[in-house]
Structure 1
Amino acid sequence: MEASKKRSILFITGAFVGNNCWDEWISYFCAKGYTCSAPPWPHKDASPAELRSRQPDPDIASIRLAPLTDYYAELANRFTEKPILIGHSIGGLMVQLLLQRDLGTAGVAIHPVAPQGLLTFELSFYKSTWHPLGLFTDSDESYLMSFEDWQYIFTNGMPYEAQREAYDKFVVPESKKVSRDGLTEAAHIDFAKYHPPLLITSGSTDHIIPASLNHTNYLKYKVSRSITDYKEFDGRNHFVLGQPTWREDAE
């Protein structure tokens, strides 16, 4: 991309982790001339360690997907020119939702949570989502992922020391409501509607968002005349942003 055409990037954080998960990505793209922003979710403007110390946090527990998407829509509208949108997990779903509103010049959805109505039969998906959804627990109490769940859901296949370091550095309490909203109208995508160019990526070892689910998401866009592409990366788990291979993915 020519220097004169380089643009701004709005990074959209997923659930369960702080916005510091984008720090290396921001350094990488800023070095290439992009203007980068990775604002925290509402009620999460603090370090992961501090946010964990507040658990349970009623403010975090109150976060819902529709207002959160509107929050990022407002941020996208503040740019002089439409930004490139890059999001991970539920942040990837929000990329799809925001492109549906034509709020980005292009988008990358990294291992995105599937839009409303898309499911998978893979056992790892149900094992990974059981605790975060907390279907038989109080939704007014925030959820803090245990280290054991982190090992299975995000960092499977990584050395123990790397899993522990990543947990301490990134994990934050989460809203059960925002996770449940992924099953509702708030996560609805009109796949036939025009959207700016979109790339969906997946990882071959991702437990919570299996590659097959991301591929189904991609195939749904076949009814649209818009540009949509798909790439599966070998050996990537859900901690894809922080794996040693992150730079290859960014490129």
Structure 2
Amino acid sequence: MNTTTTTTLTARELDQIAQANASARPAAVLIHGLWLLAGSWDAWRDHLEDAGYAVVAAEWPQEPANVADARTNPGSFAGVGVQEVTDHIAEIASALHRRPVVIGHSFGGLLAQRIADLGLAAATVAIDPAPFKGVLPLPASTLKAASPVLGNPANRKRTVTLSFDEFRYGFANSVEEDEAHDLYDTFHVAAPGRPLFQAATANFTRGTATRVDTRNPARGPLLVISGERDNIVPRAVSHAAYRLQSRNEAATEFVEIPGRGHSLVIDSGWRTVADTALEFAARHDGNGTAA
């Protein structure tokens, strides 16, 4: 009897996985959040590869190939939710011959914690992570930053493009105006509204899409990084996630990066954040790669 295995992995991801498995290097999986694409990690990929890792930049289901394609087809992400992306990234991690270091930003930070909860990560870094079920703080700046999506219930089933001013407030509030425009022009794409609605209603519904078992012994070491000036995921939110995760028997650490906003993984100060993640990985992933 013939069986057919269905994969959600793209040709680009399959190529990166094959290269990682063919190398003798430890692997790292990078997970982006809303309003960005996998290509936003390009500088990180080069940096981590220089540090000794084989890197897979995870895409979301239905993700356009590049920013130009995303702007030509802004509705391509419509309807994609947290569980679909979790399943996709779990497929990436499972295809690797060794458990990777998993690094995620924003909703990618939530997804990274969910992958760790599945026992698929050697170590995990969640950068300004979107809240999982049980994280209670809801600062005013979070509500304002999310209002372009949550302000219209119809956005649950479609994508939303931020205006420059909305991007400036939510992402690029800690950089100069010229850099903010450059980041917007270079990286910003429409994002699905559904994940934000899932996170916003998680504590009031039985849904499990954003649930994380903070006591799971299979989770492994976890670092939560917070940008001091982040408006979308302020310290109150990221530190609440850290406090819940610190119940775990594995190492759980928290670092605040001074003066940084939500754009900290793509703006001119990205290397400081990357080196913070690498230092943690070197101590906890069992390889000592970046030491």
Aligned residue runs from structure 1 range 1-251, under 5 A: 7-55=26-74, 57=75, 59-182=76-199, 183-184=201-202, 185-194=208-217, 195-251=219-275
Alpha-carbon offset, residue 132 of structure 1: 2.5
List per-residue Cα deviations over 1:163-217 (Å, max 9, x = no partner).
1111111111111112212243210112222111010000110000001211111
Which amino acid is the alignment partner of residue 192 of structure 1?
A: R
Change (3 A) 1:40 1:121: closer
Q: Where do 5+ consecutive residues of structure 1 fail to align?
A: none
Count the aligned residue pairs.
246
Alpha-carbon offset, residue 68 of structure 1: 0.9
Alpha-carbon offset, residue 62 of structure 1: 1.6
Helix, strand or coil at the partner of 1:61: coil
Change (3 A) 1:67 1:121: closer
Q: Structure 1 runs of 4+ off > 6 angstroms?
A: none
Q: Is the 8 A contact 1:49 1:169 kept in 2?
A: no
TM-score when scaled to structure 2? 0.80
Change (3 A) 1:135 1:193: farther
Change (3 A) 1:134 1:19: farther
Which amino acid is the alignment partner of residue 216 of structure 2?
A: K
Change (3 A) 1:92 1:118: same
Q: Is the 8 A contact 2:61 2:84 kept in 1?
A: no
Q: Distance in 1 between matches of 2:246 and 2:181?
A: 41
Higher relative contact order (CA 8 A, sep 6+): 1
Q: Distance in 2 between matches of 1:179 and 1:216?
A: 18
Instruction: Give me the identity figure in percent.
Output: 28
Which amino acid is the alignment partner of residue 215 of structure 1?
A: H
Q: Distance in 2 between matches of 1:5 and 1:110?
A: 27
Q: Distance in 1 between matches of 2:62 and 2:262?
A: 23
TM-score when scaled to structure 1? 0.93
Helix, strand or coil at the partner of 1:139: helix
Q: Cα RMSD over matched residues?
A: 1.7
